[in-house]
Structure 1
Amino acid sequence: MSAPAVAGTGPVVRRTVSLPALWLSGWRIALLVAILAIWEVVSFTLIDPFWISRPSDIAVRLWDMAVSGSLWTNSWATLWQAILGLALGLPVGLGIGVLLAALPRFASVVEPFWMGLYSLPRIALGPLFVIWFGIGLLSKVMLVFSLVVFVFILNALQGLHEVDRDLVNLMRTMRASRFYILRRVQMPSIIPWIIAAMRINVGIALIGSVIGEMLGANRGLGWYIQISGARLDTTGVFTGLFILMIMAILFNEAIKIIEDRLLPYKRAS
């Protein structure tokens, strides 16, 4: 039965979404406050703040960085490199995944080689990226790209393998072209796999951006953490890590919003 209507007002809509969201946000804030409070107490009573700093000191440092403008400069440099690497890795990885799925024999031949490339530690390749692309933006973007593209390839390839074969065969009996099947059946089916790859790659992209800055840069959170460590500035190191954590949380929330838009059935469930 539909909800009862009130004259002149239309159907009555029950608001059941805001309360769980408010409850969840409240518990998250309470957990964060408890962790920070325990950290602050421990730094005063059990462990020298030289080793673990203090939340109050980190808050002061964040304020100083915000006033001086270095907070925005360093955060944006790291974030922009990660975004560009992801933006380049997504279409390239998706395209290669589709190509390998369409050419299974070719995929079987090249699989050991590209899996070998995937297994290479990127930090060992970092000096080569600096030599090839310099110490500017391009070397960081390419380092991030080299980290995230393989995750997109693997997820796209696995997602295409998981597509309902009966549905594909049905479309073939109806004489649908391979491109039509790819566009109308296979690509929509692998959206959850691509979203999952994006969630994984958020942290990987930030790692790649930070590593690139540590190898050679004059700004960015990786650069800031490195120079803070060289000065034995524990508060500076924890401040950089805290900003990276907040950045990753916001990045993941943005992906969650995109997921709700593309996959409304998951939000309803």
Structure 2
Amino acid sequence: MSADVKEVEDAPQVVPIERSFWGRYGARISVWAARVVLVAVVLLVWQWAADRWFDVIFTSRPSEIWDRLVEWQQDGILWSNTWVTIQEIIYGFAVGAAAGVLSGFVLASATLLYRVLDPFVMALYSIPKVALAPLFIVWFGIGMHMKVLLAAATVFFLVFLNTVAGVREVDRGLIDAVRLMGGGRWHVTLKVVLPASMTGVLTGLKVAIPYALIGAVIGELVASNRGLGYLINDAAAQFDTAGVFATLVVLSVIAAVLNLLVGLLDRRLSRWKPLEARR
């Protein structure tokens, strides 16, 4: 018997494990079922407790919120204003995330430059973004550009700081190993720094999603004549609690969908990780 045949026989054999449908998806189904039950219980208790435990004028009812959503949908008010806000969120998130990732990689790679700029970046990050809204109105007016840039400014710092953290935490041993094998700066960046720092980048993107929404809505609340923030202002001015809650429901759905998309991207880019690290 040759050495090659002996090595093949001694090698560990991979035996595929056949799992049932419930074995593969049971945990996920249980989690989603628990979420649905929790939401249903909260809505039922809210519906029953309205005008029994608290004044319905201040809290409305789930049935009234649903009626308001249906009414706005039929009038076209809901979709037209929702689309405006979605555009502001997407554009603001894209601009802020792209600028944050690019700046994070560049500054994290230039150690001296990062040390010089670090206190100034943190000072700008500490400024409440709502305080920028009046300034952006003066510069860009009350149109969509102001909301997009306010959302981008909010997203930028979160993505930037997480990207910098991801790049600076790359294992130096891996970088040295690539260099010892003759790899240049470009090889180190593509083969080591970029994949290893992806966790920090994706964390920044996940954290920044709700803040993109917050930035856009804050801009609409400060000055706007369309968008979901405008609907909130209009409903609050008429003391229409159902309208305010209906708008908040739409904003929650938008945030959930955006988080789902980033989660799918995370799982696709994290296939190289162990299964436990992907959860």
How many Å apart are 1:198 and its aligned residue?
1.3
Any idea what the Cα deviations from partners look like across 1:40-94, whole Å, max 9, x if unmatched? 1121311111111110100000111111122111212112111111111122111
- In structure 2, the partner of 1:118 is 125
Distance 2:61 2:102 in 1: 47
Q: Deviations over 1:81-128 (max 9, x none)?
A: 111111111221111111111211111111111111111111111011
Alignment partner, residue 225 of structure 2: 218
Alpha carbons 2:160, 2:204 under 8 Å: kept: no
Aligned partner of 2:140 in structure 1 is: 133
**CA pair 70-183 structure 1, distance change in 2 beyond 3 A:** same
* Helix, strand or coil at the partner of 2:226: coil
Q: Establish whether residue 26 from structure 1 lines up as the match of residue 33 from structure 2.
A: yes
In the alignment, structure 2 segments of 5+ residues that lack a partner are 1-13
Decide which of 9, 12, 15 is 1:2's aligned counterpart: 15
C-alpha contact 1:260 1:266 (8 A) present in aligned 2:
no
Counterpart Cα distance in 1 of 2:109 and 2:19: 48
- Residue 244 of structure 1 corresponds to 251
**Residue in structure 2 matching 1:105, options 85, 90, 112:** 112
Deviations 1:235-258 (A, max 9, x none): 111111111111111111111111
Identity within the alignment, % = 34
Q: CA deviation at 1:3?
A: 5.0
The equivalent residue for 1:261 is 268
- Gaps in structure 1 of 5+ consecutive residues: 5-11
After TM superposition, give the deviation of residue 264 of structure 1 in Å. Answer: 2.6
How many angstroms apart in 1 are the aligned matches of 2:62 and 2:151? 30
CA distance in 2, matches of 1:125, 1:13: 55
**Matches of 1:3 and 1:138 in 2, distance apart?**
54
What amino acid does structure 2 have at the position aligned with 1:93?
Answer: G
CA 1:40–1:150 in 2, change beyond 3 Å: closer, same or farther? same
TM-score, with structure 1 as normaliser? 0.92
| Cα RMSD, aligned residues only | 1.7
Contact 1:3 1:13 in 2 (8 A): no
The answer (yes or no) to whether the contact 2:217–2:228 under 8 Å persists in 1 is yes
After superposition, residues 187-226 of structure 1 pair within 5 angstroms as 187-226=194-233
Distance 1:33 1:92, change over 3 A: same
Question: Structure 1 266/182 Cα, relative in aligned 2: closer, same or farther at 3 Å?
Answer: closer
Larger radius of gyration: 2
Residue 48 of structure 1: aligned partner: 55
Give CA-to-partner distance per residue, 1:134-188, whole Å, 9 cap, x none: 2111111100011010111101110011111100011122232212211111011
